[in-house]
């Protein structure tokens, strides 16, 4: 399998391309409260067309909640989300599904489906009720499976794939969907280091607008055009990896000591972490410091 030989899929554009604005996604003054608790507060950002935005932040910061607002799983309490200048609330479910593909954090169960059938589900939004798959569709599915390195598993039951293989199959389904915006919630969760890099490079190469929550800051630094750092439900920083990933900010937000230096290959921030927190916490507790 050779993921380096990636072909770029042109995104579905059922609006006039000449009218396509340079901003794919605009989020303004978004807040989400539930059970009297504010989970997201006054989130503002834009995603330029064709760029990859990494959503970073500590556990419980609100990354998945923000993504759920973007893919309409939850409705924000306040604020507006537009996709190519269209309010996402106004799009029909079918129009929304043609434009936005989502790979969620927890791989859902799809009993009785082969990997190929699972990937073919990506075509559904583009089909009428009685449409069947054409040979062109078959080729598209085969190509997507090849891109994620799963051609040899196409006839295997999806449920019998490993966690990482399932993740890659779901990404193949999203590729087949040909969205304008791809939303990925921790896409590298189950992947070994090679596939972490290759899958994010693949996603980048699609040429579509992508927003992905990523825990690995070095991966986010290397592969994202820009980063949105969420902390306690608020935007803590937004900008290029170099602007966002400073030693002070990593210390403040993640509570770790880190050294940031230019990566030897791409010169974007490379973070080296320091260890010994258990001893430090223990020492502080003995001295009556800290919480
Ligand atoms: N439906 C819900 N009801 C109540 N609280 C919720 C709900 N969904 C999320 N939360 C709370 O919102 C906060 C943010 O959760 P979220 O899953 O968005 O964080 P996250 O940044 O994605 O975290 P992680 O990195 O651990 O996946 C958490 O405190 C969580 O308990």
pLDDT digits (tens, 9 = 90+) for 94-145: 999 999 999 987 777 887 899 999 999 999 887 766 667 776 888 999 999 9
- How far apart, in whole angstroms, are the C-alpha atoms of residue 152 and residue 134? 21
- CA 42 vs CA 93, 114, 212: distances in Å: 26, 43, 20
Q: What is the C-alpha to C-alpha distance for residues 223 and 270, in angstroms, rounded to an integer?
A: 12
- Mean pLDDT for each consecutive 10-residue tract of the chain (291 residues)? 33 38 93 97 97 97 97 96 96 94 82 92 78 78 93 95 89 94 91 89 91 97 97 97 97 95 96 81 58 40
Q: Nearest Cα to 272, choosing from 291, 290, 252, 245? A: 245
pLDDT of residue 21: 64
Q: Which atom of ligand 1 has the smallest separation from the CA of 105? A: 27
Which residues are registered as beta bridge partners of 229?
A: 56, 237
The partner residues of 235 in beta bridges, in order of sequence, read 230
Per-residue model confidence (pLDDT) at position 253: 96
Q: Whose CA is nearest to atom 9 of ligand 1?
A: 65
CA-nearest residue for atom 27, ligand 1, is: 59
Residues 203 and 171 sit within 8 Å (Cβ to Cβ): yes
Backbone CA torsion sign across 229, 231, 233, 234: negative
Inter-helix orientation angle 163-177/193-205, to 10°: 0
CB 180 within 8 A of CB 84: yes
* Sheet of strand 78-83: strand arrangement: 37-48, 23-34, 78-83, 86-87
Rounded to the nearest whole angstrom, what is the distance from the C-alpha of residue 203 to the centroid of ligand 1? 25
Q: Pocket around ligand 1: residues whose beta carbon is below 6 Å from it?
A: 34-35, 39, 57, 59-65
**Per-residue b/e over 66-85, b at no fewer than 16 CB within 10 Å?**
bbbbbbbebebeebebbbbe
Specify whether the CB–CB gap between 259 and 272 falls below 8 A: yes
pLDDT of residue 3: 36
Domain boundaries, the chain: 17-246
User: What pLDDT is recorded for position 287?
Assistant: 61
Q: How far is the CA of 66 from the centre of ligand 1 (A)?
A: 9
Ligand 1, residues 36, 63, 220: which to mutate, most atoms within 8 A of Cβ?
Answer: 63
- CATH for 17-246, options being 3.40.190.290, 3.40.50.300, 3.30.70.2190, 2.40.50.140: 3.40.50.300
Residue 51 phi/psi, 5° resolution? -100, 165
- State the pLDDT at residue 108: 73
pLDDT of residue 137: 83
pTM of the predicted model as reported, rounded to 2 decimal places:
0.86
Q: How much distance in Å is there from the Cα of 39 to the middle of ligand 1? A: 7
Q: Which atom of ligand 1 is nearest to the CA of 65?
A: 18
The whole-number pLDDT of residue 264 equals 96
């Amino acid at each position: 399998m050779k993921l380096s030989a990636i072909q770029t899929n042109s995104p579905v554009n059922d609006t006039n391309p000449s009218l396509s604005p340079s901003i794919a996604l605009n989020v303004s003054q978004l807040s989400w409260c539930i059970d009297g608790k504010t989970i997201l507060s006054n989130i503002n950002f834009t995603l330029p067309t064709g760029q990859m935005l990494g959503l970073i932040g500590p556990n419980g910061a609100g990354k998945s909640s923000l993504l759920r607002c973007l893919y309409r799983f939850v409705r924000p309490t306040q604020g507006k989300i537009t996709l190519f200048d269209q309010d996402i609330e106004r799009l029909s479910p079918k129009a929304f599904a043609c434009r936005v593909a989502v790979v969620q954090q927890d791989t859902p169960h799809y009993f009785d489906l082969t990997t190929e059938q699972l990937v073919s589900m990506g075509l559904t939004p583009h089909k009428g009720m009685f449409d069947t798959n054409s040979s062109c569709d078959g080729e598209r599915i085969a190509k997507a499976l090849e891109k994620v390195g799963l051609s040899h598993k196409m006839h295997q039951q999806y449920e019998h794939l490993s966690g990482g293989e399932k993740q890659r199959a779901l990404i193949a389904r999203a590729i087949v969907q040909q969205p304008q915006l791809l939303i990925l919630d921790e896409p590298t969760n189950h992947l070994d280091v090679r596939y972490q890099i290759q899958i994010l490079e693949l996603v980048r190469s699609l040429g579509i607008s992508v927003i992905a929550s990523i825990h690995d800051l070095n991966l986010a630094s290397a592969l994202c055009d820009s980063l949105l750092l969420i902390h306690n439900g608020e935007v803590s920083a937004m900008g290029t990896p170099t602007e966002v990933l400073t030693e002070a900010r990593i210390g403040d937000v993640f509570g770790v000591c880190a050294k940031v230096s230019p990566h030897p290959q791409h010169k974007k921030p490379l973070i080296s972490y320091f260890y010994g927190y258990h001893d430090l916490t223990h020492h502080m507790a003995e001295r009556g410091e800290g919480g």
